[in-house]
Structure 1
Amino acid sequence: MSRLSYYGQRVVMSILLVFAIATFLFFSFRLMPGDYATLLLQQGASPEQVESVRESWGLNDPLYVQYLRWMFNMFTGDAGTSRQFSRPVVEVVGTAVRNSMILALPGVLVAFVIGSLYGALMGIKPGSRFERYGIIPPNLVGTTPDFFIAILLVYVFASTLGLFPTGSMLSIEAQKSVSGWRIYTTGSFWYHYVLPFSTVVIKYMYYPAMVMRGSVVEVRNQEFATYQRLLGLSSWTRFKHLMKHASLPVITVLPSVTARAISGLVLIEIVFNWPGVGALLFNSVIARDTPVIQFLFLLVAIWIVLGNFVVDVFYTLIDPRITVEGE
C-alpha cells in the first residue's frame, strides 16, 4: 500500500466514523425516555405548544425521515435554533468555540512543550535526585481539580496581590466598544487572559510530563542512543535525538487531551466567567437546550477523530522507522 493510498484510506475511515457518531447522537436523543418535543420546551407547556413544536421540528414524520433531514441539515450547517438564545445554534456555538479555542489550544500546546521538556529531563538521568523527586510536582498538579487551581490563582494573583482581574474576558468599557475578532486584539483581553491561560497550562502539564518521562526511560538505552554516545555527540545533540524518538507517545495523547481541555473547561470557565464551550454546555444542560447540546457533542467527536487522523499522518513523517505496510 502506498503512502497516498494509506492517507486516503484513513480519510475515508475518519468520515465514516464521524457519520457513525452523528447517527448515534441522533438516535440517542430521539430514543430518550419521554417525548422529544418536551425536551425542547419549558416544563408546563400546553398541549398546543407541544404539538406546534412537533410540527415545526418535523417530529410527526417517521423516524427515518427525521434522521435523513437532520443529517442533511448537519451537512449544510443548519443545526437548528437555540431555545435559550433564539439564535441559530451554529452562531451561538461558533462564538463559544472561538473563545474556548483561543484559551485551550495555546494553553495545551504550551503545556505540552513545557511538560515534555520537564518529563525528558526527569527521564534522561536515571537514579538522579531530580528523577526521584521531580515526579512529585506533576503528580500533585495532576491530582488537583482544575477549578481549585483556578481559585488558587485568583486568590493569590487577583484578590491578594491585585495583579490581574478576577474574571470575565473583557472589562466593561471594552465590552461596550469592541466586538467580534477585534476583542482579541485589545489590551483588556490579554490582561484578563493571563490567569485562565495559566490555569490551563498548569493543569495539563501533567500528561506530557509523565508520558515523556516514561518514554525517555524506555528509549534511552536503545541501540541508537548507545551508538550516539560512542560517536561522541554532544549532550544537547543526543538529547534532541532522544526527545524526537520519545515524542511519539506524547503526540498520540495530544488530540485527546486537547479535546478533553476544550470540553472540560466547564469549571475553569465558570470560575473566570469565561464565555466558552464549557460555560455554554453547562448553561444549555440547565436550560434543556437540546439542539445546542447535541451539536456540541458532535463537534467534540469530530475534533477527536480529526486529531487522531493528524496524529497518524505525523507518525509517518516524524519517525522514519514507521512505514506503511507494503511500502
Structure 2
Amino acid sequence: MSQLYYYARRTVVSVLLIFAIATFLFFAFRFMPGDYATLLLQQGASPEQVAKVRQMWGLDQPLYVQYFKWLGNMLQGNAGMSRQFNKPVLEVVLPALRNSLIVALPGVLVAFVLGSLYGALMGSRPNSFLERYGIIPPNVVGTTPDFFIGILLLTVFSAWLGWFPSGSIATIDTLTSTSGWGLYLTTDFWYHYTLPFLTVVIKYMYYPTLVMRGSVVEVRNQEFATYQRLLGLGKWRRFRHIMKHASLPVVTVLPAVTATSISGLVLIEIVFNWPGIGQLLLTSVFARDTPVIQFMFLLIAAWIVIGNFIVDIAYTIIDPRITIEGE
C-alpha cells in the first residue's frame, strides 16, 4: 500500500468520523428532556414566541428535515444564533476560542518539550538519584488541580510579590484602544498572559514526563541502542536517537492532552478571569445556550479527530521502523 493511498484513506475516515460525531450531537440535543424550541427562549416565553422560533428554525418540520437543514447550515458556516448574546454562534465562539488557543496550544507544546526532556533524562540514567526521586515533583503536580496551581501562582506572584496582575486579558484602556489581533501584540497582554500560560505549562508537564520516562526505559536497552554504544557514539547523539525512538507514545497523547487542556480551561479561566472558551462554556450552560454548547462540543471532538490524524501521519516520519499495515 502506497503512502499516498494511506493518507487519502485516513483523510476520508477522519472526515466521516467528524460527520458521525456531528450527527450524534444533533440527535443527542434534540432528544434531551424538554421541548427543544423552549431551550432557545427565555423562561416564560409565550406560545406565540415558541411557535415563531419553531417556524424560523424549521423545528415544526419532521426531524429528518431538521437534520438535513441543520447539516446544510453547518457546511455553510452557519451554526445558529446564540440565545444569550443574540448573535451568530461563530461570532460568539471564535473570539473565545482564539483566546483559549493562545494559552492552551503554546502552553501544552512547551510542557511537552520540557516534560519530554525531563522524562528522557530520568529514563536514561538508570539507578541514579534523578531516576529514583525525580518522579516525585511531576507526580505531585499531576495530582494537583489545575485551578489550585493557578491560585498558588496568583498568591505568590500577584498578591505577595506584585509582579503580575491578578486577572483578565488586559487592562480596560488596552481593551478599548485595540481590537482584533492587535491586542495580542501589546505589552499589557503579555503581562496578563504570563501566569495563565505558566499554569498550563506546569500542569501538563506531568503527562509527557511520565510517558517519556517509561518509553526511554523500554527503548534504552534495545539492539539499536546497544549497537550505537558499541560504535562509540557520544552520549548526546545516543540520547537524541533514544529520544526520537521513544517519542511515539508522547506524540500519541499530545492531541488528547491538548483537547483536555482546552476543555479543562474552565476553572483556570475563572481563576484568571480569562475570556476564553472555558468561561464561555460555563456561562452558556447556566444560560442554557444550546447552540453554543453544541458547537463547542463539536469543535473539541473535531480537534481530537484531526489531532489523531496528524499523529498517524507523523508516525511514518518520526520513526522509520513504523510501516503501513506491517509492510
Q: TM-score by structure 2 length?
A: 0.99
Note if 1:171 corresponds to 2:171.
Answer: yes
Note if 1:197 corresponds to 2:197.
Answer: yes
| Post-superposition CA distance 1:93-122 (Å, at most 9, x none) | 110111111110000000000000010011
**Structure 1 vs Structure 2 CA RMSD:** 0.8
| Post-superposition CA distance 1:38-92 (Å, at most 9, x none) | 1111222222221121111111000000000011111110001111111110111
Note if 1:276 corresponds to 2:237.
Answer: no
Query: Which residue does 2:291 correspond to in 1?
Result: 291
Q: Cα distance, 1:325 vs. partner?
A: 3.2
| Post-superposition CA distance 1:215-234 (Å, at most 9, x none) | 00100100011111111110
Query: Which residue does 1:224 correspond to in 2?
Result: 224
Contact 1:150–1:199, Cα closer than 8 Å, also in 2: yes
Q: How does 1:125-144 map to 2 (within 5 A)?
A: 125-144=125-144
Query: Which residue does 1:258 correspond to in 2?
Result: 258
Provide the secondary structure at the position in 2 that maps to 1:58. coil
Note if 1:208 corresponds to 2:208.
Answer: yes
CA distance in 2, matches of 1:121, 1:317: 24
Contact 1:149–1:203, Cα closer than 8 Å, also in 2: yes
CA distance in 2, matches of 1:278, 1:215: 33
Q: Cα distance, 1:176 vs. partner?
A: 1.2
CA distance in 2, matches of 1:121, 1:36: 55
Query: Which residue does 1:308 correspond to in 2?
Result: 308
Note if 1:48 corresponds to 2:48.
Answer: yes
Q: 5+ unaligned residues in a row in structure 2: which ranges?
A: none
Give the letter for the 2:252 counterpart.
T
| Post-superposition CA distance 1:3-47 (Å, at most 9, x none) | 100000000000100000000000000011110011111222222
Contact 1:153–1:195, Cα closer than 8 Å, also in 2: yes
| Post-superposition CA distance 1:116-138 (Å, at most 9, x none) | 00100111111111111100000
Contact 1:2–1:326, Cα closer than 8 Å, also in 2: no
Give the letter for the 2:191 counterpart.
Y
CA distance in 2, matches of 1:27, 1:137: 44
Note if 1:11 corresponds to 2:11.
Answer: yes
Q: TM-score by structure 1 length?
A: 0.99
Aligned length: 327
Contact 1:164–1:195, Cα closer than 8 Å, also in 2: yes
Q: 5+ unaligned residues in a row in structure 1: which ranges?
A: none
CA distance in 1, matches of 2:198, 2:326: 46
Contact 1:252–1:311, Cα closer than 8 Å, also in 2: yes
Provide the secondary structure at the position in 2 that maps to 1:325. helix
Percentage of identical aligned residues:
73
Provide the secondary structure at the position in 1 that maps to 2:120. helix
CA distance in 2, matches of 1:326, 1:152: 49
Give the letter for the 2:141 counterpart.
V
Following TM superposition, the consecutive aligned residue runs of length 4 or more in structure 1 with deviations greater than 6 angstroms are none
Contact 1:18–1:305, Cα closer than 8 Å, also in 2: yes
Query: Which residue does 1:324 correspond to in 2?
Result: 324
